[in-house]
């Protein structure tokens, strides 16, 4: 079981007897510190998506499906192609990657986990942290070195996130893929 707060794109959960792939998670906070999680879900067996809201502590049945460690090979619209250690290729629909797609870039070395349902590759889970290059960010405005002042940045692959004020264009940074948060400069 996982709480709604712990879910991330690529997870597959069981709701009312049906498997759903988590495509996007968005966590906010209600009035008294409680997390509210908005999920975009895709039904594994039908071609339908839905948006749903949960309390952060709501428990979800996280289905353990067959998974394989794979590396990203290439993109053939609308499929991302991954390869296992034995050079078998698996196609995953771009839509099923949800927010994780922002971290899938050519030449990436991190291992991803491809999830299968009844023999079909249905989603991909990223490692919890990845290292990416900052392709653009404004120069430091305040000379802050504490890491508390944040500013927007674009990374390889086109994704955006908030980074510490001291980060510069060209820096390599570590990102938590579960929260899309900057962790540190590498």
Q: Does 59 bind another protein (CB under 8 A)?
A: yes
Residue 41 and residue 25: Cα distance in Å, rounded? Answer: 9
The label of the residue with tokens 């120069």 reads 139
DSSP for residue 114 = E
Closer CB to another protein, 16 or 47, in the complex: 16
Two tokens, residue 60 = 């979800």
Q: How many residues bind another protein (CB under 8 A)?
A: 24
Q: Does 29 bind another protein (CB under 8 A)?
A: yes
Q: Does 186 bind another protein (CB under 8 A)?
A: no
Nearest to 96 by CA among 34, 10, 160: 10
Residue 176 and residue 129: Cα distance in Å, rounded? Answer: 5
Of 153-182, binders to another protein (CB under 8 A) are none
- The interface mask with another protein, positions 104-133, x = CB under 8 A, is ------------------------------
Residue 122 and residue 129: Cα distance in Å, rounded? Answer: 21
Given 61, 66, 69, 106, the residue binding another protein (CB under 8 A): 61
The region, left, alpha or beta by phi > 0 then psi within -120 to 50, assigned to residue 37 is beta
Q: How far is the CB of 162 from another protein (least distance, A)?
A: 13
Given 3, 43, 58, 183, the residue binding another protein (CB under 8 A): 58
Given 2, 24, 43, 55, the residue binding another protein (CB under 8 A): 55
Of 35-54, binders to another protein (CB under 8 A) are 36, 38, 50-54
Nearest to 112 by CA among 130, 131, 99, 87: 130
Q: Which residues bind another protein (CB under 8 A)?
A: 14-17, 26, 28-34, 36, 38, 50-55, 58-61
């Amino acid at each position: 079981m996982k709480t709604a707060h712990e879910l991330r794109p690529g997870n597959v959960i069981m709701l009312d007897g049906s498997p759903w792939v988590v495509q996007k998670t968005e966590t906010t906070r209600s009035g008294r510190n409680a997390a509210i999680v908005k999920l975009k879900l895709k039904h594994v067996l039908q071609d339908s998506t839905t948006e749903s809201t949960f309390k952060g502590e709501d428990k979800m049945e996280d289905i353990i499906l067959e998974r394989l460690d794979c590396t990203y090979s290439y993109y053939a619209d609308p499929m991302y192609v991954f390869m296992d250690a034995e050079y078998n290729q698996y196609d995953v629909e771009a839509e099923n990657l949800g927010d994780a797609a922002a971290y899938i870039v050519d030449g990436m070395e991190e291992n991803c986990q491809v999830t299968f349902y009844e023999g079909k590759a249905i989603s991909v889970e990223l490692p919890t942290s990845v290292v990416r290059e900052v392709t653009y960010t404004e120069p430091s405005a305040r000379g802050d070195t504490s890491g508390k002042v944040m500013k927007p940045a674009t990374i390889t692959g086109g994704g955006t996130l908030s980074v510490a004020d001291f980060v510069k264009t060209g820096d390599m940074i570590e990102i938590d893929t579960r929260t899309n948060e900057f962790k540190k400069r590498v």
